């Protein structure tokens, strides 16, 4: 009897240590973590930066190019492990749709706050094409309407909005609520590329352009003024029962992951959840490519080498 219980005790003890050692050894899977790359600089550099951090921890990483809207469906089904730049107003809808269907988890926000609103490039302010900007009241003047006219806008000024995917009829509704609808029409561009092409063309030509943009973005470097609309308050949006007569709030920049990531790559997941970039850092990453003309991979290497103090603490317990 005594012998039996002793044996049992040893077995239990052994089992305990075994499982304990097993826990301590719960290592990340050797399978690659799949990081998506979209088509704008800061996102790609950040993908390589995060990939570099994971690699420094001994993980394998794979990059896959993906459409920035369709990517959430892939994160949800596990084909892509994470998404590190979820912009509130452009991708919020896709993000929450995928979350509702199940499989995608919210891994918290970056420190950076974003602003996504209408604005004008620096040369519009410098040339005083519309005196009184960035205050929105200035837009009521006929001079401003004329400054923003285009071939297909009739006699109204044109507001160049991003694709309708991004935030539906938010800007048209706001224009209506602010009483600008008889002076301005909203034209939806089809892609970010279309916005930049028009912006570059307007800058070369020195003509006026009133367009949707966001910060942090590469346009920050050349100077871009956002219009000061009446400040946002809770309940201003039509969906919340308001009339939409307000500007955009500061937006979040989120991180998302596949629901199995915490179990499959616990250490990488812990790092990913701690990881948080601020506006300056995102700006640095984009500038290495857009201004210093480095390749995205080189930019990521340089950023990682220069900012060890920023990212190394995230990899430690």
Partner 1 sequence: MQIKTITENTKLVQVIGLFIVFFALYVLIEPSADNILWRIPEISFGEGSFSFWAVPAIINDSIDYMMFEWMPVQIYDSEIEDYDTSTLLKEVTRGFSGFIEFLINLIRELILGGVKTIVAFTSWDFISDNEWANWPALPWTVVLAGAFIIGYALGGKGLAFFAGISTAYTAIFGQWEPAMETLSFVLIAAPLSFIFGLVLGILAYKNRTIEILLNPLLNVAQTMPHFSYLVPIVVLFGIGDQAGAIATIIFATPPMVRLTLLGLKKISPEIVEAGMMSGCTNRQLLFKVLIPSARRDILIGVNQVIMQCLAMAVIASFIGAKGLGFNLLVALNQLRIGQALELGISIVLIAVVLDKLSLAWANKQVDYFADLTFWQKHRYGLMFLVSLVVGSFFAYIGTLIFNDINYLYLIPHSKGITTAPVWQAGIDWVVENWYHSLQTFNHFMIKDILIPMKEAYLGMPVVATFTLMMGIGYIIGGIRSALVVGGFLLFISLTEWWDRALITAYMTTFGVIISTIIGATVGILCAQNAKASRFILIVCDTFQTFPSFIYLIPVIMLFGVTDTSVLLAVIVYATIPATRYTVEGLRNVPVALQEAGSMSGVNRWQRLTKIEIPLAFPHIMLGVNQTVMFSLVMVIFGAFIGTDDLGQLILKALSDEKGIGNGLILGFCVAFIGLAVDHLISKWSHDRKQALGIN
What does the binding site for partner 1 look like in residue numbers (CB under 8 A)?
29-32, 37, 39-41, 44, 60, 64-67, 69-71, 73-74, 77, 79-80, 91, 93-94, 97, 100-101, 150-152, 160, 163-165, 187-194, 196-198, 200-201, 204-205, 218, 260, 263-264, 289-290, 295-297
Among 77, 86, 46, 76, CA closest to 63:
46
> How far is 293 from 126, CA to CA, in rounded Å?
27
48, exposed or middle or buried, with CB in 10 Å at 0-12, 13-18, 19+?
buried
- E strands, 208-313, in order: 210-215, 224-226, 253-258
| Min separation Cβ 225 and partner 1, Å | 21
Residue 11 or 39: the one with the smaller Cβ distance to partner 1 is 39
| Min separation Cβ 208 and partner 1, Å | 12
| Min separation Cβ 193 and partner 1, Å | 5
Q: Which two tokens stand for residue 148?
A: 């923003």
| Min separation Cβ 65 and partner 1, Å | 4
Q: Can you name the residues that pair with 33 across neighbouring β-strands?
A: 61
Residue 160 or 180: the one with the smaller Cβ distance to partner 1 is 160
| Min separation Cβ 294 and partner 1, Å | 8
Residue 64 or 228: the one with the smaller Cβ distance to partner 1 is 64
Peptide bond into 309 cis (omega under 30): no
Residue 74 or 281: the one with the smaller Cβ distance to partner 1 is 74
Contact 162, 212 (CB under 8 A): yes
**Coil, strand or helix at 1:** coil
| Min separation Cβ 128 and partner 1, Å | 21
Residue 76 or 110: the one with the smaller Cβ distance to partner 1 is 76
> How far is 188 from 92, CA to CA, in rounded Å?
19
Among 197, 124, 110, CA closest to 157:
124
Residue 38 or 246: the one with the smaller Cβ distance to partner 1 is 38
């Amino acid at each position: 009897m005594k012998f039996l219980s002793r044996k049992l005790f040893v077995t239990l003890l052994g089992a305990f240590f075994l499982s304990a050692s097993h826990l301590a050894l719960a290592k990340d899977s050797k399978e690659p973590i799949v990081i998506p790359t979209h088509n704008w600089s800061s996102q790609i550099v950040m993908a390589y930066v995060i990939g570099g951090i994971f690699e420094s921890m001994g993980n394998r990483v794979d990059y896959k190019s993906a459409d920035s809207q369709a990517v959430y469906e892939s994160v949800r089904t596990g084909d892509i492990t994470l998404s590190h730049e979820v912009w509130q107003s452009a991708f919020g809808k896709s993000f929450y749709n995928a979350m509702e269907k199940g499989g995608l988890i919210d891994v918290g926000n970056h420190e950076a706050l974003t602003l996504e609103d209408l604005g004008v490039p620096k040369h519009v302010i410098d040339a005083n094409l519309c005196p009184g900007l960035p205050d929105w009241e200035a837009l009521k003047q006929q001079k401003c309407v004329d400054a923003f006219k285009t071939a297909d806008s009739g006699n109204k000024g044109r507001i160049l909005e991003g694709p309708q995917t991004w935030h539906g009829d938010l800007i048209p509704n706001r224009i209506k609520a602010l009483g600008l609808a008889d002076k301005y029409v909203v034209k939806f561009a089809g892609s970010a590329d279309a916005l930049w092409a028009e912006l570059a063309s307007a800058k070369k030509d020195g003509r006026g352009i009133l367009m949707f943009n966001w910060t942090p973005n590469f346009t920050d470097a050349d100077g871009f003024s956002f219009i000061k609309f009446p400040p946002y308050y809770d309940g201003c949006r039509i969906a919340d029962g308001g009339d939409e007569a307000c500007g955009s709030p500061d937006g979040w920049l989120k991180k998302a992951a596949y629901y199995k990531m915490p179990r499959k790559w616990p250490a990488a997941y812990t790092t990913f959840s701690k990881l948080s970039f601020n506006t300056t850092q995102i700006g640095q990453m984009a500038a290495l490519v857009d201004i210093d003309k480095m390749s995205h991979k080189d930019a990521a290497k340089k950023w990682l080498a220069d900012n060890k103090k920023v990212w190394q603490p995230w990899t430690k317990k």
